[in-house]
Amino acid sequence: MYYYFKVDVQNVSLIPPDNPLTIRKGAQKEVQCVVNNNAVPPPTFSWYLEALDITSNMRKNRSAINITGNENDNSKILKCRATNNNKTKAVNTTLNVEYPPKVSMLSEQKIVQGRDLSVICHATPGNPSYTSFHWTKVDNSGFRQNGSTLQLFNIQRTSVGTYRCIAENFYSDAERGTHNQSMGIDVLFAKLMLWVVFFYEDPPIVLALSRQDILEGTDLSVNCEATPGNPRLSTFYWTNTRNDAFRQDGATLQLPKIERSSSSTYRCTVENNYNISEKGTDNVTMVVNVLYPPIVHNLTQQNIIEGINFSVTCSITVGNPRPTQITWISVDKPGFERNGATLSFPRVHRTNSGNYTCKAENDYGKDGKGTHSQSMFLNVLCKLTYIFLLKYRNNLR
């Protein structure tokens, strides 16, 4: 279809306009991308989840997609691009997918009558990450213990049964995300016990570990120390609360050239062997937080006619920590600096031509800053030159 006049896409917005856009795991939410009603011809819309094209149905001057909450999409960038007259405008938002914690498997407990039992329930945090724990007993509706540790002192045969650890987090609408695992407890009874005890047995005690903030690509080495128990000989090993398959034997956790995927809570466990084929054990956890810079997406050369309003937006993928400062600088114009993701020149002038760099930074604290940048060339065409180029191109046809 031929249009006698053309109007560029000027405003692009999302409905709902929330940033971040919160959605529950498994739930669906419609997101609309809307442009100015007078855009001619009607624009072509493209949707992206990070780099994945998820374009859906379109109507005049608007497009809509249905997003399903997936915990793997949490913190990903959802972007809508609208194009007409060979010009593109874009808008984006960050997905905040809320999902429950996940309780780790619990093993059956067998314990001799009269002893004390202590069992710690572990869970992989959901989103939001704050997690509360409590224990219940399947055959006793009045039983409840708050906290991640189940403690039963001087255990008796009435304690036999199935216990359930429940982990919960609280969503933005005050609803709860929840997950649980069950565990059986079997109390062993001895008709006759003739024990002559000449020694005492104690487990080792693990010393506290501090949080590790470390730059991506560097080597991490952390030594776990413990006060010996009785017997004194102790065995150390490390596990990862987010990866059940991870285990490193020995007192030292070593993660060479660490990657961002290694961010997690690690647990150092120390054991000694008692003479009655039981083990004394203690453990502590330690957070490993891998720091990495934001990534600036590629920028392309901008050709624009002098006198037109010009703007371009620098799009990034956030790093860790997430807060990011975006700055535009010019290689050709010392002292030029603009804060914010959008570089704009009202009624652009030929003197604005040059190389511009978008720089994104996050703050590592005492470890400095993470930074990444991309450059683009702004080519401002004066009107006479532009008309000459058009005539020259037409003569070649």
DSSP string across 174-224: S-EEEEEEEEEEEEE--S-------S--B--EEPP---EEEETTS-EEEE-
* Residue 229 backbone dihedrals phi, psi, to 5 degrees: -95, -150
Residue 286 near residue 255 (C-beta atoms within 8 A): no
For residue 80, count CB atoms less than 10 angstroms from its CB and return exposed for 0-12, middle for 13-18, buried for 19 or more. buried
Average pLDDT over residues 32-38: 89
Fold matches, 1-97 and 100-194: yes
CATH of domain 203-291: 2.60.40.10
Lowest mean pLDDT among 34-38, 123-127, 342-346: 34-38
CA distances from 55 to 11, 19, 77, 317 (A): 19, 20, 14, 20
pLDDT band at 205 (very low <50, low <70, confident <90, very high): very high
- Is the pLDDT higher at 323 or at 366? 323
Characterise 394 by phi-psi region: left (phi > 0), alpha (psi -120 to 50), beta (else): alpha
Average pLDDT over residues 289-293: 96
Domain segments of the chain as ranges: 1-97, 100-194, 203-291, 293-397
Per the listing, tokens 């859906």 go with 56
Residue 183 near residue 108 (C-beta atoms within 8 A): yes
Distance in angstroms (rounded) separating the CA atoms of residues 70 and 317: 19
Is the entire prediction scored with pTM above 0.85? no
CATH superfamily placement of domain 293-397: Immunoglobulins (2.60.40.10)
Lowest mean pLDDT among 1-10, 309-318, 358-367: 1-10
Q: Comparing C-alpha atoms, which of 228, 203, 207 is closest to residue 279? A: 203
- Is the pLDDT higher at 201 or at 263? 263
- % the chain with pLDDT above 70: 90
Q: Is 54 helix (H, G, I), strand (E, B) or coil?
A: coil
CA distances from 102 to 27, 87, 121, 239, 311 (A): 18, 46, 11, 16, 45
Q: Comparing C-alpha atoms, which of 10, 3, 66 is closest to residue 38? A: 10
Class of domain 1-97: mainly beta
Taking 60 as the threshold, does the pLDDT of residue 195 lie above it? no
Taking 60 as the threshold, does the pLDDT of residue 56 lie above it? yes
- % the chain with pLDDT above 90: 71
For residue 204, count CB atoms less than 10 angstroms from its CB and return exposed for 0-12, middle for 13-18, buried for 19 or more. buried
Give the tens place of pLDDT for each residue, 294-303: 999 999 999 9
Specify the pLDDT at position 397.
59
Specify the pLDDT at position 196.
40
Structure tokens at 231: 């017997």
Sequence-distant (6+) residues with CB within 8 A of 389 are: 381
CATH of domain 100-194: 2.60.40.10
